[in-house]
Amino acid sequence: MNIKKYKTSEERIVQASENSDALKLYIETYGCQMNVSDSEVVNSIMLDNGFALTNKVETADVIFINTCAVRDNAEQRIRNRLQALNALKKKRKGLIIGILGCMAERLKEQLVQEEKMVDIVAGPDAYRTLPQLVKQVETGQKAVNVLLSREETYAEISPVRKDANNVTAFVSITRGCDNMCTYCVVPFTRGRERSRNPESILREVREVISEGYKEVTLLGQNVDKYNWNNGEVNFAHLLKMTAEINPSVRIRFSTSYPQDFTDEVIKIMASYNNVCKYIHLPVQSGSNLMLEKMKRGYSSELYLNRIQAIRKYIPDCAISTDIISGFCGETEQDHKDTLALMEKVGYDFAYMFKYSERPNTFAARNFEDDIDEKIKKRRLNEIITLQQKLSLQSNEKDVGKVFEVLIEGFSKKSDDRLFGRNSQNKVIVFNKEDAKTGDYVNVKVNSCTSATLLGEILK
């Protein structure tokens, strides 16, 4: 018999809900995958401290908003959401509202002063103290903990994956970032870079696999800098160890940093079938002048050298990127350099943003945010249009091919159709037949759009 040594997420959620005295917690998550993963850590901490979890915001006693500060519009969205929650707070006496995550860390006490409905402000390294912060609010005070730590990795906490699809899980391997790209707020909101104990990572990967998950994504702002005990375990070792746990469980990772992304890692990707053939390698700009000003620490030539290395060892690898348009002083030529680099690489996918000045970053203190909003927008649109063309070209090459697809759920448009991803992280939609979520199926691609492949299951 298969005896479980630990409780699954579901068992823990159900057990807590049986306590009718428990305060009910509702968490809403914004921002990147690190935040999704952090909210799962918060679930775990709160369950261990006698709280129950709810999906219904109207029934909650405590609402946590896990926030992002990377661009101004991310923060505006959260401020608008707070207005809506304020109406709820007026109706429900005693409702506690907490702001977690990067916006909490960036604004600190200022947030409780500016937003009267906020009771708790807790930064990314302060989640163990959330139960105490709730108690403090119950005594009529506001509670703020924004201390950053050099050690905190929540290593031994088993995240409670409440809103997950039970197929794909995120496992965090590093926290913080030491890179200090000049435009970026993350080093200020997440603190110093630190790696999590490899044993606790492998234990968590085994746990999620025994719960039935079929894909694990290792997470960090710069996973290539993973480093345990002065190089005893580096990212390549960790990737190899996770891949070897179970050959039918896929491993992905995000995000890689161009000059830290080694051939050693590429070779591991190439030699393990279950390590997905997909790499997210943010370039930000194709212009060396801009890259220098961003303090990215690489040139477009070095970046292209990494792309060549990927293509050499893994010819069928999909590559995606992040791009910022309209950074300080960006000329038409710099912008053209970005478009040219995109063409050269032929990205399969990209996340594209307009530069948004973040207070107190190096760029905010030293450069003028001098690109007119209209120009930023026009350049961004040109970047998006080009990427749509590249994505379509990439997808058209896949028509007629057969891919192994891990099914993640029903297609948004129809209950007769399922969707999943191939190793290259491309979304494929196909008829249901008798397959179900969590299965691997072979799908033949019949047609495509720039965003999706459409196909049929091969019997």
Task: Give the binding site for ligand SAH (CB under 6 A).
Answer: 70-71, 183-184, 186, 221-222, 255, 282, 284, 322, 324, 353, 355-356, 358
Closest CA to 219 of 171, 258, 177, 257: 171
Query: Between 130 and 177, whose beta carbon lies closer to ligand SF4?
Result: 177
Amino acid at 385: T
Q: C-beta of 34: minimal distance to ligand SAH in Å? A: 9
What are the residues whose beta carbons fall under 8 Å from the beta carbon of 266, sequence distance 6 or more? 309, 310, 313, 314
Q: C-beta of 55: minimal distance to ligand SF4 in Å? A: 31
Query: Between 182 and 424, whose beta carbon lies closer to ligand SF4?
Result: 182
The single residue among 184, 239, 251, 283 that binds ligand SF4, judged by CB under 6 A, is 184
Angle at CA of residue 327, ends 323 and 329, nearest 5°: 140
The single residue among 187, 258, 420, 455 that binds ligand SF4, judged by CB under 6 A, is 187
Residues near ligand SF4 (CB under 6 A), total: 10
Secondary structure letter of residue 435 according to DSSP:
-
**DSSP conformation letters of 279-329:** EE---B-S-HHHHHHTT----HHHHHHHHHHHHHH-TT-EEEEEEEES-TT
Q: C-beta of 325: minimal distance to ligand SAH in Å? A: 9
Query: Between 322 and 396, whose beta carbon lies closer to ligand SAH?
Result: 322
The single residue among 8, 86, 179, 356 that binds ligand SF4, judged by CB under 6 A, is 179
Query: Between 69 and 429, whose beta carbon lies closer to ligand F3S?
Result: 69
Q: How far apart are CA 455 and CA 19, in angstroms?
A: 47
SS3 letters across 61-77 = CEEEEEECCCCHHHHHH
Task: List Cα–Cα distances, 23 to 11, 94, 128, 160, 349, in angstroms.
Answer: 18, 11, 17, 17, 43
Closest CA to 159 of 145, 172, 175, 177: 172
Dihedral sign, CA of 123, 127, 132, 137? positive
Q: C-beta of 319: minimal distance to ligand SAH in Å? A: 13
Query: Between 257 and 430, whose beta carbon lies closer to ligand SF4?
Result: 257
Map residue 249 onto helix, strand or coil: coil
Compose the 253-272 pattern: x for residues touching ligand SF4 by CB under 6 A, - for all others.
Answer: ----x---------------
Query: Between 274 and 361, whose beta carbon lies closer to ligand SF4?
Result: 361
Tokens representing 229? 């005990």
Pairing type for strands 402-410 and 174-175 reads unpaired
Q: How far apart are CA 76 and CA 72, in angstroms?
A: 6
Q: C-beta of 282: minimal distance to ligand F3S in Å? A: 12
Compose the 191-230 pattern: x for residues touching ligand SF4 by CB under 6 A, - for all others.
Answer: ------------------------------xx--------
Name the closest residue to ligand F3S (Cβ): 31
Query: Between 254 and 422, whose beta carbon lies closer to ligand F3S?
Result: 254
Q: C-beta of 19: minimal distance to ligand SAH in Å? A: 39
Could you tell me if 139 and 119 are in contact, meaning their C-beta atoms sit under 8 angstroms apart?
Answer: no
Q: Does 177 bind ligand SF4 (CB under 6 A)?
A: yes
Q: In what order do the strands lie in the sheet with 250-254?
A: 168-172, 215-219, 250-254
Q: C-beta of 343: minimal distance to ligand SAH in Å? A: 19
Tokens representing 393? 């070209």
Instruction: Work out what residue 298 binds among ligand F3S, ligand SF4, ligand SAH, none; the CB cut-off runs from 5 to 8 Å by kind.
Output: none
Q: Which residues bind ligand F3S (CB under 6 A)?
A: 31-32, 34-35, 68-70, 101-102, 185-186, 189-190
Query: Between 87 and 180, whose beta carbon lies closer to ligand SF4?
Result: 180
Instruction: Work out what residue 187 binds among ligand SF4, ligand SAH, ligand F3S, none; the CB cut-off runs from 5 to 8 Å by kind.
Output: ligand SF4
Helix (H) or strand (E) holding 333, with range, is helix 332-345
Query: Between 173 and 317, whose beta carbon lies closer to ligand F3S?
Result: 173
Q: 455 has which bridge partners?
A: 430, 445
Query: Between 161 and 190, whose beta carbon lies closer to ligand F3S?
Result: 190
Q: C-beta of 179: minimal distance to ligand SF4 in Å? A: 4
- Residue ranges binding ligand SF4 (CB under 6 A): 177, 179-181, 184, 186-187, 221-222, 257
